[in-house]
Amino acid sequence: MQDFKNMIQIAGVRDAAEALMMGDAGVTHLGFPLRLAVHREDLSEREAAAVIALLKPSVEPVLITYLQKADSIVRLCRILGVRIVQLHGNISITELLRLRQNAPELAVIKSLIVRGNNQKELIATASCDARLVDAFITDTWDQQTGACGATGKVHDWKISRLLADCSPKPLILAGGLGPENVRQAILEVRPAGVDSHTGVEGPDGRKDEGRVRAFVAEARAAFRELKRLP
Ligand SMILES: O=C(O)c1ccccc1N[C@@H]1O[C@H](COP(=O)(O)O)[C@@H](O)[C@H]1O
pLDDT in tens, 7-51: 999 999 999 999 999 999 999 999 999 998 777 788 999 999 999
Q: Is residue 164 part of a domain?
A: yes
Measured distance CA(194)–CA(160) in Å, rounded:
12
Least confident residue range of 86-95, 139-148, 155-164, 178-187? 139-148
Mean pLDDT of the chain: 95
For residue 2, the 8-state DSSP code is -
Pick 104 or 149 by higher pLDDT: 104
User: If you measure from the C-alpha of residue 216 to the centroid of ligand 1, how many angstroms do you get, rounded to a whole number?
Assistant: 17
On whether the CB atoms of residues 31 and 12 are closer than 8 A, the answer is yes
Q: Is residue 2 part of a domain?
A: no
Instruction: Calculate mean pLDDT across residues 127-134.
Output: 96
Rounded to two decimals, the pTM is: 0.96
ipTM, interface predicted TM-score of the complex: 0.97
Closest listed residue to residue 197, CA positions, set 135, 159, 147: 147
Where residue 75 sits, what CATH number does that domain have? 3.20.20.70
pLDDT higher than threshold 90 for residue 148: no
Atom index in ligand 1 nearest the CA of residue 88 equals 7
Residue 6 CB less than 6 A away from ligand 1: no
Name the residue of 36, 64, 201, 215 whose CB sits within 8 Å of the most ligand 1 atoms, as the mutation to test its pocket.
64
Instruction: Calculate mean pLDDT across residues 178-185.
Output: 98
Tell me the percentage of the chain whose pLDDT exceeds 70.
100
For 193, residues 6+ apart whose C-beta sits below 8 A from its C-beta are: 4, 5, 6, 7, 8, 9, 28, 29, 135, 170, 172, 173
Measured distance CA(169)–CA(136) in Å, rounded:
7
pLDDT higher than threshold 80 for residue 112: yes
* Encoded amino acid at 4, one letter: F
* pLDDT of res. 94: 96
User: If you measure from the C-alpha of residue 197 to the centroid of ligand 1, how many angstroms do you get, rounded to a whole number?
Assistant: 5
33 strand-pairing partners = 64
Q: Is residue 42 part of a domain?
A: yes
Residue 208 CB less than 6 A away from ligand 1: no
Confidence of residue 5 (pLDDT cuts 50, 70, 90): very high
Measured distance CA(91)–CA(100) in Å, rounded:
13
51: Cα separation from own chain's centroid? 18
pLDDT higher than threshold 70 for residue 146: yes
Q: Is residue 103 part of a domain?
A: yes
Instruction: Calculate mean pLDDT across residues 109-130.
Output: 95
Q: Is residue 189 part of a domain?
A: yes
Domain count, the chain: 1
Q: Is residue 63 part of a domain?
A: yes
Residue 219 CB less than 6 A away from ligand 1: no
Q: Is residue 127 part of a domain?
A: yes
* pLDDT of res. 116: 86
CA distances to 15, 47, 110 from 88, in Å:
23, 22, 7
CA distances to 13, 132, 197 from 124, in Å:
33, 14, 27
Q: Is residue 1 part of a domain?
A: no
For residue 180, the 8-state DSSP code is T
* pLDDT of res. 204: 94
For 138, residues 6+ apart whose C-beta sits below 8 A from its C-beta are: 111, 112, 113, 114, 122, 155, 159, 160, 163, 171, 172, 173, 174, 175, 191
What range defines the domain where residue 104 resides? Answer: 7-228
User: If you measure from the C-alpha of residue 145 to the centroid of ligand 1, how many angstroms do you get, rounded to a whole number?
Assistant: 13
Measured distance CA(41)–CA(161) in Å, rounded:
30
pLDDT higher than threshold 70 for residue 1: no
